Amino acid sequence: MKIAVIQGPNLNMLGAREQHIYGPMTLDQIHEQMTGSASQNGIELEFFQSNLEGEIVDRIQECMGTIDAILINPAAYSHTSIAITDALNAVSLPVVEVHISNIYKREEFRQKSITASASTGVITGFGPFGYHMGLIALTQILNELQSSKAAKEVQAKAE
């Protein structure tokens, strides 16, 4: 299984910015922990971070045919980006959206995620642990899809 982990704007500043909201861990530390957990479960991760909306759209599109699922923290683009939402819908992959902070306890404009409509599920407010929760969710989703596909193949051979 191969999962793309796509990080939006300002997440490269984790560990330095607003620690009272986002905590002290850096993005590299979060990715390092994720890699350890993923490798134990036979999952390959590809990490990408950009502050530019178009680059995030390009990366999502590149996932089509090469990636099994996407774990994304669109950050501020969650609340504004129709382009990222459209790209997530276009690739037709399982998507879990993660937010480090609880967006529902923040400013009103942060309480609506446009990109959530293109996601299988959303995890918010658990700090960096939310990324691990997202990996667990995507592993389960991919295992279910694989089992369903195998059952259909067996059924087709039987007919």
- 14 burial (CB, 10 Å; 0-12 / 13-18 / 19+) is buried
Predicted TM-score (pTM) of the model is 0.90
Q: Looking at 20, 22, 31, 79, which residue is catalytic?
A: 22
* Residue extents of the structural domains in the chain: 2-158
Q: Say yes or no to pLDDT of 81 above 80.
A: yes
Q: Looking at 31, 77, 99, 131, which residue is catalytic?
A: 99
Q: Say yes or no to pLDDT of 49 above 90.
A: yes
- CA-CA-CA-CA dihedral for 102, 92, 40, 121, to nearest 10: 20
The domain over range 2-158 is classified in CATH as 3.40.190.10? no
Look up 22 and say whether it is catalytic. yes
pLDDT class of 129 with cuts at 50, 70, 90: very high
**Average pLDDT over all residues of the chain:** 92
What's residue 66's pLDDT? 97
Q: How many of the other CB atoms lie within 10 Å of CB of 12?
A: 16
What's residue 148's pLDDT? 80
Look up 31 and say whether it is catalytic. no
**How do residues 95-124 score in pLDDT, each as one tens digit?**
999 999 888 777 777 668 999 999 999 999
Between 28 and 155, the more confident residue is 28
pLDDT class of 155 with cuts at 50, 70, 90: confident
What's residue 3's pLDDT? 98
What's residue 72's pLDDT? 98
